[in-house]
Amino acid sequence: MALVCSISNEVPEEPVLSPVSNHVFERRLVVKYINDNGTDPINGEALSVDQLLEIKVSAVVKPRPPSATSIPAILKLLQDEWDACMLHSFTLRQQLQTARQELSHALYQHDAACRVIARLTKEVTAAREALATLKPQAAGFVPTLREGTEGVATIPTRTDAMETEVAPGEMTEEILLKVHLFL
């Protein structure tokens, strides 16, 4: 027994039965009709989508169109399917190559960022060590203020060139002032 939709007169893919008229319909067609009109398509009585009964049937295998029954037509179908598979494979390879390039670029940027961070960390550590060695020398130095300079620390001036020379390992008053202002 073949089920035929009462609206389209074709075999339904998802058949349902109307309890009001006892007719078989394609679900999508009768649901659209009920949503538009609210009645059964055959007798016009009130019907809701919830009242439709699903009919369990085995899957319908649609026959091949008449154009696919000859050998040349079948060969053409196979060639078209092969072409579609190869095109899909080519597209996937292109996407893979693009993803590899993006990943390579991201990894390169990450590596460069890590190298910059390591270099900056090394420089900060070196600067802190240098500052730690300068702090004991700067602890005894107190900058003097000139009158009328509004609280700005100044370096005392020296006129004798011999007095401005510093022994190796010592710091000039100018450096000590800068370190003290920095702290």
Q: Mean pLDDT over residues 45-63, rounded?
A: 83
Range name among 47-51, 83-87, 161-165 with the lowest pLDDT average: 161-165
Do the bridges between strand 15-17 and strand 53-54 make them parallel or antiparallel, or are there none, so unpaired? antiparallel
Q: Which of 57, 45, 44, 8 is nearest to 29 (CA)?
A: 8
Which residue's structure tokens are 């009001």?
Answer: 20
The DSSP output letter for 51 is G
Residue 162 confidence (pLDDT) = 44
Of residues 131 and 90, more confidently modeled: 90
Cα–Cα–Cα angle for 73, 74, 79, rounded to 5 degrees:
95
Question: What average pLDDT does the segment 46-60 reach?
Answer: 86
Residue 158 has pLDDT above 50, yes or no: no
pLDDT digits (tens, 9 = 90+) for 14-44: 899 999 999 999 999 999 999 999 999 988 8
Task: Please give the DSSP secondary-structure letter assigned to residue 143.
Answer: -
Overall pTM > 0.75 = no
Per-residue pLDDT tens digits for 92-134: 999 999 999 999 999 999 999 999 999 999 999 988 888 888 7
* Residue 136 in tokens: 């004991």
Q: Which amino acid does the sequence have at 104? A: S
Give residue 135's pLDDT: 72
Query: Mean pLDDT, the chain, as a whole number?
Result: 80
| H helix intervals, the chain | 27-37, 71-138, 161-164, 173-182
Confidence band for 10, pLDDT divided at 50, 70 and 90 = confident
Q: Is the pLDDT of residue 88 over 70?
A: yes
Cα(154)–Cα(156) distance, rounded to whole angstroms? 6
- The residue with greater pLDDT, 129 or 67, is 129
